[in-house]
Amino acid sequence: MSDREDQLVGEFPLIPKQERAQLKRDLLLKSGHELFILKGYEHTTAKEIAANAGVATGTFYRYFSDKRQLLMSLLEDQIEMLMPPEPKWGVSDPESTLASLLEAHDKRIKEMGMQRVLPELLAKDTEFAEVLAAAKRKIFTRILSGLTKAYAKGLTWKDLDLNTVTWSLMTLAEHAPEKVKQCGIVTDYREVAKVICRLIFPPEVIKNLQSEVSTVEKE
């Protein structure tokens, strides 16, 4: 049914204009997301994205200046998901907490499905790489501040550089999902969590923290 007919028959336009536009934009984003994951960024064409979204090629360009911009919009929505969460140390058994955080993070990354596309982009798109680097710096600061507090409480190793520990922590957390591909071993988040915790806390601290928790739990 055309716009013209709409007006002739006096049908009430159920969806407000802006909302309808937003709908198309979302359709396009979804379509792009699917295809980028399926075929890679470079090998997806604007025409395909439009067709897959059920709109005309030209419509794509009404909502996005180009393919790259669609991708950027996609990433803006998702970049938060890439960020590992900041754990609160010294509150509960750090190993269990971390293990479940890692697993949850991994899950979200997988749901997002953009891992396949990101490396291609990082390599090619300087601007995007910078956006991501900035995000990482932000999370770095957050984690570092957490560790600094733990350090002040005397919970962490005294002889390790906190900056380096923070970086190691992020690096391991970020790459944990790839463990299988690289080494042929299934990722056991509990073990990764133990290793990461060892980077931060001396074993006896962990024990104390764990017993505190169980004490609390028993009470």
Partner DNA sequence: AATGAATGAGTATTCATTCAT
Partner DNA sequence: TATGAATGAATACTCATTCAT
Q: Does 9 bind a copy of itself (CB under 8 A)?
A: no
Nearest distance from residue 74's CB to DNA, in Å? 15
Nearest distance from residue 153's CB to DNA, in Å? 53
Rounded to 5 degrees, φ, ψ at 34 are: -55, -50
Nearest distance from residue 28's CB to a copy of itself, in Å? 21
d(CA 13, CA 20): 10
* Contacts (CB under 8 A) with a copy of itself, residues 175-194: 175, 179, 181-185, 188, 191-192, 194
| Torsion sign, CA atoms 57, 58, 63, 69 | positive
Rounded to 5 degrees, φ, ψ at 98 are: -60, -45
Residue of 21, 110, 161, 214 that binds a copy of itself (CB under 8 A): 161
Question: Cα-atom radius of gyration of the chain, to the nearest Å?
Answer: 23
Q: Is 48 exposed, middle or buried (0-12, 13-18, 19+ CB in 10 A)?
A: middle
Using the contact rule CB under 7 A, the part of the chain among 54-62, 129-137, 144-152, 172-180 near DNA is 54-62
Give residues in contact with DNA (CB under 7 A): 1-3, 14, 17, 20-21, 24, 43-47, 54-63, 66-67
